[in-house]
Chains A and B, each alone.
Chain A
Amino acid sequence: MQIKLKVFRYLPHTGKKPHYDTYEMEVDPNERVLDVLEQVRADSDPSLGYRRSCAHGVCGSDAMRINGRNMLACKVLVKDLNSTQITVEPILGLKVLRDLIVDMEPFFDHFRSVMPYFVNDDPIPEDGKERLQSPAQRERFDDTTKCILCAACTTSCPSFWANGKYVGPAAIVNAHRFIFDSRDTAAAERLEVLNEDSGVWRCRTAFNCTEACPRDIEITKAIAEVKQVIYSGKIE
């Protein structure tokens, strides 16, 4: 099929202002938007910048705004956009470094701020093996283990657009994964970070994060659960 691809362009070293380039091209409807970008880079403009690695929805490096909505370019087929016009822009709220590439550092700073790793300094169990957990206890945080840190959620959030200090949905999802892990012992520290002005209370439940997540994580629900733990003092 014939499509018109409009891509946000910004190459700081050229001194040109941010603008859009348009490419008319013939593509297979079963191709993904990532394939279309690869085609542009191969055939028309090798300077086009974007991140990608796995090309299979696993690494989380190619989140971008496609026709106005955050998605992974490697997970969306051209035919599923139901349009012959495709507009591709960088995710919103992080500084654009080049074309579709944004500075992810502030995003990872927020991620790091919630201690996204397992903490338990208790002596290892007597048998010297694992810290046991029942299937139900494991199930409790299963949903939030699926995050690939693509930032589609955080950069779709109106609260994050307004204030980059907000830790954002992705950081809360990753905090949730450990707060509800029965083997972890650092929930209190994480909840302290999330109870600050830049924490969970900035979530206004706009729901863009949940709609944008390529892993179908129920993000708004996870955030509400963390809010509940903070005001009830109980992890259930």
Chain B
Amino acid sequence: MSNLKTTLTGYASYRGKEGHYSFILHRITGLGTALFLIIHILDTSFVYFFPDLYQHAISLYRSTLFGIAEVGLVFCVFFHGVNGLRVAFFDLIAPRLWSVPKQRFSTKITLLITLLMWVPASAIMLYNMLYHNFGWFGG
């Protein structure tokens, strides 16, 4: 088996516990954030190289599709950040926290903190999108 196939088989079919899913989510949210950063660096470089295209890019960002993608992006950034802090704290400062119950509990708390930050943020973002793109709430 190639390594990529083994990896994807493992990701998808290994029935790990909280840590396995938290690891996969960390990967996906990391990839999501990296993808956004690449696009963002490209579009910002348009300001210098192709100013007309830059305007076009900005109007694309205001489209509904990008608005929804941005809500996902914010989840990616929040989860990746909070989980990264958890892992760094456990691994670098307090290895004794790597016990089964503490690790399981901490992955759940990480998700909870992420949601507590993400739900209000996405509510504001969706409100703005409905206001500007659909004329809701008197927009």
Contact = CB atoms under 8 A, between A and B. Distances in A.
Given A67-B15, A207-B98, 11 more contacts: A65-B14, A93-B10, A205-B91, A206-B22, A206-B23, A208-B19, A221-B98, A224-B92, A224-B95, A225-B95, A227-B95
B23 A204 contact: yes
A68 B13 contact: yes
B6 A221 contact: no
A161 B7 contact: yes
A197 B129 CA distance: 46
A207 B19 CA distance: 5
Contacts of B26: 204
B6 to A, nearest CB: 5
B3 A224 contact: no
Nearest to A155: B10
Given A93-B6, A162-B3, A210 B16 contact: no
5 contacts: A67-B15, A162-B6, A204-B26, A210-B98, A218-B99
B91 A158 contact: no
B109 to A, nearest CB: 15
A52 interface: no
A92 interface: yes
Interface in B1-45: 1, 3-4, 6-7, 9-11, 13-20, 22-23, 26
Interface of A: 65, 67-69, 92-93, 95, 156, 158, 161-164, 204-208, 210-211, 218, 220-221, 224-225, 227-228, 231
Contact of A161 (B10, B18, B98): B10
B103 A210 contact: yes
A205 B19 contact: yes
Nearest to B9: A92
Given A93-B10, A158-B10, A205-B90, A221 B3 contact: no
B115 interface: no
A224 B6 contact: no
A142 B99 CA distance: 16
A210 B17 CA distance: 10
A154 to B, nearest CB: 12
B87 interface: yes
A207 B10 contact: no
Contact of A207 (B7, B13, B14, B103): B103
Given A67-B15, A158-B23, A227 B99 contact: no
